Structure 1
Amino acid sequence: MPLSLEERFFLVKEVYSHGGKYSKEVQNIFKENFGEEQLPDRHCVDALMKKFEQTGSMQDRPRSGRPSVINNEALRDVTKKLDRSPHKSLRRLSQEVGMSLTSTYRAVKKQKFFPYKVSAVHELKAQDTEKRVSFCRWFQQFIDMNGENILNDTFFTDDAWFHLSGYTNRQNSRSWATENPHEIFEKPLHDQKIGVSCAVSRSRIIGPIFFDSTVNSDRYIKNIFVPFSEQLTASEKQRTWFQQDGATTHTARATMTAVRKVFGERVISQDLWPPRSPDLTPPDFYLWGKLKDLVYADNPRSINDLKHNIRQIICRYQM
C-alpha cells in the first residue's frame, strides 16, 4: 500500500521510539491513528527506515517521463485524506499521497470533490422563525396600505466594522467535499478597525457615519442618531419611517426618547423588529458586502485611507 508523507513520518517516529523495531505495538498504534485495515508491510517499513537513515528524507524521488495512470488505490487514498481533513490544500494533499500536484488535482476531480466556498451566516434560533414571518407579513401590509413609494421614506439602519487588514477572504477559503458542507467559518477580530453606520432608503443613503469605540446609548444618540437625523429635511422628518434593530443601545429609554422625538410612532424597532435579523435590512443584505468587496481593492494602508474609500464608494452609490 502507498504511504502518505504523514504516515511515513509517523512510522519512522514510532519505530525509533520502540527500539528501532516495527513491533506489534507500533502496528496497533498505527491502526488506531490511521484506521487502516491493511497495515504497512514489514519490508516496506524496513525500506523506509533504511532510506531515512541514508538520505534523511521520507519522500520518493521524482520519476522521469510521462506520469503513470492514477490507480484505484491512489484514488482511495485521496478520498480518505480529504474525508478526514477537507480543508487541506491541494499542495499539502499531493505531499501526503506522494503524487505530483497535477496528478493530485486530476484525482480530486475524478473522485468528484469540489472546492466549496466558506459562507458567513447569522445565527438563528428556533423561536426566531415565527417573529421573522410576523414582521414580513406586517411589512407587506405596511406597503399595501401606503404604496411602494413609502420605501423612499423608510430608512433601514445598520452598523458594521471595517478592519484595516481586511475581512474573511472567502475566495481563498475552500472545503473539499463531494457535497456542499454548508460550513460556518469564524475569524477573530483585528485591532485596527473603524465602525460605520449607514441608513438606506429606496431613494438614497445617509452616511457613512464613523465611530471608533464600543457604542453605548449616549454615544449612539450623540455620534450616530443625531448626525443621521440632521441630514433629513424638515419635510422628511414629518413623514419618514425609521428602522433600527433591537440592540440594547438602540432600545434604551434615553435612545427611544430621542428617536420618538424626531419620528413619533413611525419607528420600526423592538417588539416589531425580529431579533437576529440584520439580513432583512438593505445594509446587511447588500451594502456591507458590496462595500467590503470594493474598499479593499487598493489595499488601504491606514484608517484614513479606509475611510476615504468608504466615502468615495458610497458617494458613487448616490449618483
Structure 2
Amino acid sequence: MHKYTNEEKLDILEYYLKCNRNAESAQEMYLNNFPERFQPEKKMFRRLVINLLNDASFDKKREKSYNLNHAERSQQVLNALADNPSGSVRQFSHETGIPKTIVHRVIVANKFHPYKPKTVHTLNENDYPRRRAFCNWYINKCNEDNNFHYKVVWTDETRVTNCGIFNKHNRHYWAVENPHLKDQRRSQNRFGTNVWCGIVDNRIIGPFFYNENLNGVSYLNLLQNDVLPAIRRIVPQAEQENLWFQQDGMSCS
C-alpha cells in the first residue's frame, strides 16, 4: 500500500475541492498534473475529507484501544466473541475498536474456528419417537432380508420457490470445538412449484411437477395417474409385488 506524503494529500484534497467533490474529475486532473506520482483511487479523495471532518487530520484517528496492551485487547476480543459467537471479525473490530487483523489473530491464537451450521428440516416434538420406531423397524427388516433396501420405493416432495439460494458464506459460529449446529428451515411452507420424486434400487421415478397444493384428492390422483404407472414401467413385474412404498411424512392440507 502506497504511503502518501502530506504534500501529496494536500494536492489530492485541493483538486477534489476544485472539482466540486467529483472524485472522477479530480482523479483525471491529478493525473494530468502529476503523471510521475502514484495515482490515488477515487475513494482516497473522499477519505481525506471524511478524516478531516471527523478527526481534524488527514489520517483516521486511532481508537483508544490501540493503546491497550496485548492481554487487554485479547480479552476484549474474547468477550465480544463470547457475547455473540455468530459475529464477524469486522463486527468485533467495530465493537472493540481493535483492527481486524489483530482481532483475527487473537481468535486464531485461541484456537477458535468459524463453524458453519448444517441446514436441517424442522422436527416437531412427536417426530423423534416416530423416527426412532421407523429406524428400529427398518433395521429389523434388513436383518431379515439383506436385499430389503432394494425393495423400498423411497419418496419425497418439496417446493421449488423463487426465494433464491441460501448463501451460507457469512453464516458461522466461532467455537474451539465443533458445536454441530443445525439451521432449521421450513422449506415446505413456501409458495412455489411442487415436485415429487421417488427412487427404487438404482432407478428414479419421476420427477412429477404440480402447481396446486397437495391435499388428499390431488395426492391420490398423483399416485394413481403418475406414480404407479411409472413404477410399473420401470420395475419388472416379478419384483412389483414385493415392493414397499415409503410414505413421506408431509401432511396433506
Residue pair 2:159, 2:190 contacting (<8 A) in 1 also? no
1:174 corresponds to 2:172? yes
Change over 3 Å in CA distance of 1:246–1:89 after alignment to 2: closer
Letter in 1 for 2:248: D
Q: Distance in 1 between the 2:85 and 2:129 partners?
A: 36
Distance 1:224 1:115, change over 3 A: farther
1:231 equivalent to 2:234? Answer no
Question: Which structure 2 segments of 5+ residues have no match?
Answer: 1-51
What letter is aligned with 1:159? E
**Shift in alpha-carbon separation, 1:193–1:129, aligned structure 2, 3 A:** closer
Quick one: distance in 2 between partners of 1:102 and 1:121?
34
Q: Deviations over 1:287-315 (max 9, x none)?
A: xxxxxxxxxxxxxxxxxxxxxxxxxxxxx
1:157 paired with 2:155, answer yes
Gaps of 5+ in 1: 1-53, 251-319
> Which protein is bigger by CA-based radius of gyration?
2
Is the Cα contact below 8 Å between 2:122 and 2:184 reproduced in 1? no
Structure 2 CA distance for aligned equivalents of residues 221 and 238 of structure 1? 20
**For the structure 1 residues 108 and 144, does the alpha-carbon distance in structure 2 shift closer, same or farther, using more than 3 Å as the test?**
closer
Structure 1 residues 137-159: Cα deviation after superposition (integer angstroms, max 9, x where no partner): 322332333431x4333101111
Q: Between Structure 1 and Structure 2, which shows a larger proportion of strand residues? A: 2
CA shift in 2, pair 1:225/1:68, >3 Å: farther
Counterpart of 1:245 in structure 2 is 248
Q: Residues 133, 85 of structure 1: CA spacing in aligned structure 2 closer, same or farther, 3 A cutoff? A: closer
Residue 114 of structure 1 deviates from its aligned partner by 1.6
How far 1:177 sits from its partner (Å)?
Answer: 2.8
Matches within 5 A, 1:100-115: 100-115=99-114
Structure 2 vs 1, CA of residues 142 and 188 (structure 1 numbering), >3 Å: closer, same or farther? closer
Q: For 1:61-114, what per-residue CA distance to the aligned partner results, in whole angstroms no more than 9, with x for missing partners?
A: 367xxx999711111111111111222221222222223322221111123322
Q: Once the two structures are superposed, what CA deviation does each residue of 1:236-284 show, in whole Å capped at 9, x if it has no partner?
A: 543322110344439xxxxxxxxxxxxxxxxxxxxxxxxxxxxxxxxxx
Output the amino acid matched with 1:205: I
TM-score normalised by L of structure 1: 0.50
Q: Which residue of 2 aligns with 1:197?
A: 196
Per the alignment, in what secondary structure is the counterpart of residue 170 of structure 2? Answer: coil
1:207 to 1:192, Cα distance in 2 relative to 1, 3 A: same
Aligned partners of 1:82 and 1:177 also within 8 Å: no
Answer yes or no: is the 8 Å Cα contact 1:83–1:177 preserved in 2: no
Question: Which amino acid letter does the alignment assign opposite residue 143 of structure 1?
Answer: C
Other-structure match for 1:185: 183
Within 5 Å, give how 1:1-319 maps onto structure 2: 55-56=53-54, 61=60, 71-124=70-123, 128-148=127-147, 150-186=148-184, 193-223=192-222, 226-233=225-232, 235=237, 236-249=239-252
Q: Which residue of 2 aligns with 1:39?
A: none
Is the CA contact 2:159–2:191 (under 8 Å) kept in the aligned structure 1?
A: no
CA distance in 1 between partners of 2:124 and 2:251 (Å): 19
TM-score by length of 2: 0.62
Between the aligned partners of 2:67 and 2:152, the Cα distance in structure 1 is: 65
CA pair 128-222 structure 1, distance change in 2 beyond 3 A:
closer
- Number of equivalenced pairs: 194
SS of residue matched to 1:121: strand
Call closer, same or farther: CA 1:226–1:142 in 2, change over 3 Å: farther
3-state DSSP of counterpart to 2:221:
helix
Distance 2:93 2:128 in 1: 45
Whole-angstrom CA distance in 2 between matches of 1:186 and 1:126: 14
Secondary structure at 1:239's aligned position in 2?
A: coil
Q: 1:129 to 1:192 in 2, by over 3 A?
A: closer
CA distance in 1, matches of 2:131, 2:186: 29
Cα distance in 2 between the residues matched to 1:214 and 1:247 = 12
Q: 1:184 to 1:139 in 2, by over 3 A?
A: closer
* SS of match in other structure, 2:119: coil
Secondary structure of residue in 1 paired with 2:231: coil
